[in-house]
Structure 1
Amino acid sequence: MLYDCAIIGGGPAGLNAALVLGRARRSVALIDNNRPRNAVTHASHGFITRDGVTPAEFRRVAYEEVLRYPSVYHLQNEVISVAKNESEFEVSDSSGLRVQARKLILATGVKEIFPEIEGFYAFYGKSLFNCPYCDGWELRDQPLVLVSNSSAIYHTAKLLLNWSKDLLVCTNGQTFLSDEQKERLQAKGAVVMEQPVAAFVGHDGQLEYVSFTDGTQVPRAGGFVTPQFVQSGELGERLGCERTESGGLQTDGAGRTSIPGVYAAGDSSYFMPSQLIFAAADGSRTAASVNLDLTEEDFNEC
Structure 2
Amino acid sequence: MTTALARARLALLGVPERKILRFKGGDTPRWRHLEDALRAAVGGYHAVLEGGNLDAIVARLDRFPKHMNGYAHEGVAMGLTGLDLFLPGKSRFRAFLAGAGDAHIYMSHIGAGEALAQMRRLPEPFLRKLDDPVARWLVMDGYGFHLGFFHPKKYVDRQVVPPYLSPYGRRVFDQGVGRSIWFTQGADVERVAAKVATFPPVRQADFWLGIGTGCCYAGGMEPSEIELLREVCGPHLPYLATGAAFAAKGRHRAGNPVEDTEMACQHLCDTDSSGARDIVDEALTDLPTDDSRNACHVVQDRVIATFSTSGRTTDRQAASQ
TM-score tier by shorter-chain length is under 0.3
- TM-score, L = length of structure 1: 0.28
Give the structure with the larger helix fraction: 2
Relative contact order, CA 8 A, sep 6+: which one is greater? 1
Larger radius of gyration: 1
- TM-score, L = length of structure 2: 0.27
Give the structure with the larger strand fraction: 1
